[in-house]
Chain A
Amino acid sequence: MIAAAAFYLFAAVLIASAVMVVTSRNPVHSVLFLILGFFNAAALFLIAGAEFLAMILVIVYVGAVAVLFLFVVMMLDVDFAQLREGFQRYAPVGGVIGAILLLELVLIFGTWQFAADAEGLRLAPMPEGVENTRALARVLYTDHVWLFQIAGLILLVAMIGAIVLTLRGKTTTKRQDIGRQIARSGSVQLRQVPLGAGLGQIGIERPPVEPPAGEKPKQVEHHGHGGHH
């Protein structure tokens, strides 16, 4: 009874927050409702006895992906009026796409047939005495190890692609060479100095800074900022 009540509670909050994601006026609030949705989905996983999936959902989606969403959305300068401008013009197109998707779902689930022993498997998804995590790992790393590895490689390629696209063709970017920075001799000195003496008096000079190869430091002309008027 309690489990059923909990299920309906979490499912209701999940759907409500999903609706709020779409209808919320402020994109930051949308992302926050999305996070609430993730939480409720994790709770549903927990009720279904999939504790590993629940935790991974929270760690990966809430702890990392949604943080990046939030990051991007907060930085964006979204003009709400402009966003809503084309709503009536694009609504039919969106409606058609939605209808097609709905039709496809109906087609798929209409022909869906449950296996004969599905009900029994659903009640006890794991062999007796095997933890959730272990059961999942056994399937992933024995039966489907190649698919699993290929999925990982695809993600790696996507990641490298994103980095390459970001760094492409920017020769003017200023880059920091940590090795050179640390190896620069004389940039840090420790000396015993007499109290009250200035740097010049005791013969400490600033280390010579060599200009970067190929370009001369520009002379900045001073136009009386903070000068005498």
Chain B
Amino acid sequence: MEGFLATPVGQLALTVAQAMALLVPLLIGVAYLTWAERKVLAAMQMRKGPNVVGPFGLLQPFADALKMLMKETIIPAGASRVLFILAPMITFMLAMLAWAVIPVNDGWAIADINVGILYLFAISSLGVYGIIIAGWASNSKYAFLGALRSAAQMVSYEVSMGFVIVTVLMCVGSLNLSEIVRAQENLWFIVPLFPMFVIMFISALAETNRAPFDLPEGESELVAGFFVEYSSMSFALFFLGEYANMILMSALITILFLGGWYGPFGLFPALGPLWFAFKICLCLFVFIWVRATFPRYRYDQLMRLGWKVFLPFSLVWLVITAAALKLFGWLPA
């Protein structure tokens, strides 16, 4: 067995097995995130939510998936065919691709690369292509407007997100995601860097086009935004990609601020992956909670928040953090 794993074929098989072990729970998680969102929203609005298919409506996501598969794929007459089909695939693939570097437990990343955080940032900044290509290829005004909005929004909020990440990196002294988590063994970064955590969370909402920043798909003005023309499986891919991105952003927040696989106060260190999953669920709950609570932003308010509030604030906080690290000699070796 050891000998087989050392060969290139063995390595390939091992990587595929690892990817499966990560992606299958992830996709099931995505399916149940849609269910959880409907249940939580329903509870907050004093309704019952899905409760017919299976006990507590637990089979609802599978019924929905089946429904999506049975529907007809429609490609608009004026659409750019190749790009139209490619766009949802890009969105979905990028959402899956990023998970290659996420450390679920100490040493449990498929690829524990040196520049893990940069890889994540690169992949998340590519997410805009799926949307912008979808908007353009649909050859529809609503879709195009949605795509333009989304592109501007994602590019804007990436800037402050970059500064947040740089602040955390200064405290760690490494770009490796596992190192970032290990640096939080005694003190999670949410405590000293709480304002950055807030900025990161709100930027994550904007990056994933979630309420209250869901202008790209603002149904009251744009019907459904960039995916108006999509149906059936191509729509389902967008949907899955969006929810997988939510989970990814929650994982990123967990790694950067919530101590990854560590339990609070060093509790139950053996339960690393469970702690990690629990923290992701907590973040996701807040994502849904925000959606149930806040009305949608106006577009100028969104841009103002990104450029005139978050950007200067995170810049100043970055300088303050750097000064404090230097002054007290806390800089990592």
In contact, B114 and A133 (Cβ under 8 angstroms)? yes
In contact, B121 and A67 (Cβ under 8 angstroms)? no
> Which of B25-33, B39-47, B128-136, B182-190 lines the interface with chain A?
B128-136
Q: Per DSSP, are chain B's interface residues mostly helix, strand or loop, or mixed?
A: helix
B16: CB under 8 A from chain A? no
Interface residues of B in 114-169 (CB under 8 A from A): 114-115, 118-119, 121-122, 125-126, 128-129, 132-133, 136, 144, 148, 151, 155, 158
Question: B119 — which chain A residues lie within 8 A by C-beta?
Answer: 55
> Which of A57-65, A77-85, A103-111, A193-201 lines the interface with chain B?
A57-65
B326: CB under 8 A from chain A? no
A28: CB under 8 A from chain B? yes
Quick one: which of B8, B118, B155, B300 contacts A56, CB cutoff 8 A? B118
Question: A52 — which chain B residues lie within 8 A by C-beta?
Answer: 115, 118
In contact, B136 and A133 (Cβ under 8 angstroms)? no
In contact, A74 and B125 (Cβ under 8 angstroms)? no
* Interface bits A187-228 vs B (CB < 8 Å: 1, else 0): 000000000000000000000000000000000000000000
Interface residues of A in 99-145 (CB under 8 A from B): 131-133
Chain A nearest Cβ from B85, distance in angstroms? 14
Quick one: which of A2, A67, A133, A176 contacts B300, CB cutoff 8 A? A176
Question: B129 — which chain A residues lie within 8 A by C-beta?
Answer: 35, 67
**A32, A51, A55, A62 interface centre (most CB from chain B within 10 Å):** A55
In contact, A67 and B155 (Cβ under 8 angstroms)? yes
In contact, A51 and B114 (Cβ under 8 angstroms)? yes
In contact, A58 and B114 (Cβ under 8 angstroms)? no
A81 to B202, CA, bound (A): 47
Chain B nearest Cβ from A159, distance in angstroms? 13
Residue of A with least CB distance to B175: A133
Question: A74 — which chain B residues lie within 8 A by C-beta?
Answer: 132, 136, 144
Chain A nearest Cβ from B228, distance in angstroms? 17
A8: CB under 8 A from chain B? no
A146: CB under 8 A from chain B? no
Quick one: which of A58, A133, A178 contacts B304, CB cutoff 8 A? A178
A71: CB under 8 A from chain B? yes
Quick one: which of B8, B122, B128, B300 contacts A55, CB cutoff 8 A? B122
In contact, B125 and A63 (Cβ under 8 angstroms)? yes
Q: A51-B114, A63-B158 are in contact. Are A58 and B136 (CB under 8 A)?
A: no
In contact, A59 and B114 (Cβ under 8 angstroms)? no
Chain B nearest Cβ from A5, distance in angstroms? 12
B113: CB under 8 A from chain A? yes
Residue of A with least CB distance to B159: A64
Question: B83 — which chain A residues lie within 8 A by C-beta?
Answer: 32
In contact, A67 and B151 (Cβ under 8 angstroms)? yes
Interface residues of B in 39-90 (CB under 8 A from A): 83
Residues of A within 8 A of B (CB): 2, 28, 32, 35, 51-52, 55-56, 58-59, 62-64, 67-68, 70-71, 74, 131-133, 176, 178
**6 additional A-B residue pairs with CB within 8 Å, beyond A32-B83, A51-B113, A64-B125:** A55-B118, A55-B119, A58-B125, A67-B132, A70-B151, A133-B175
A-B contact pairs, 6 of them (CB 8 A): A32-B83, A52-B118, A59-B125, A63-B158, A70-B151, A178-B304
5 residue pairs, one from A and one from B, having the closest CB atoms: A63-B125, A55-B118, A58-B122, A59-B122, A51-B115
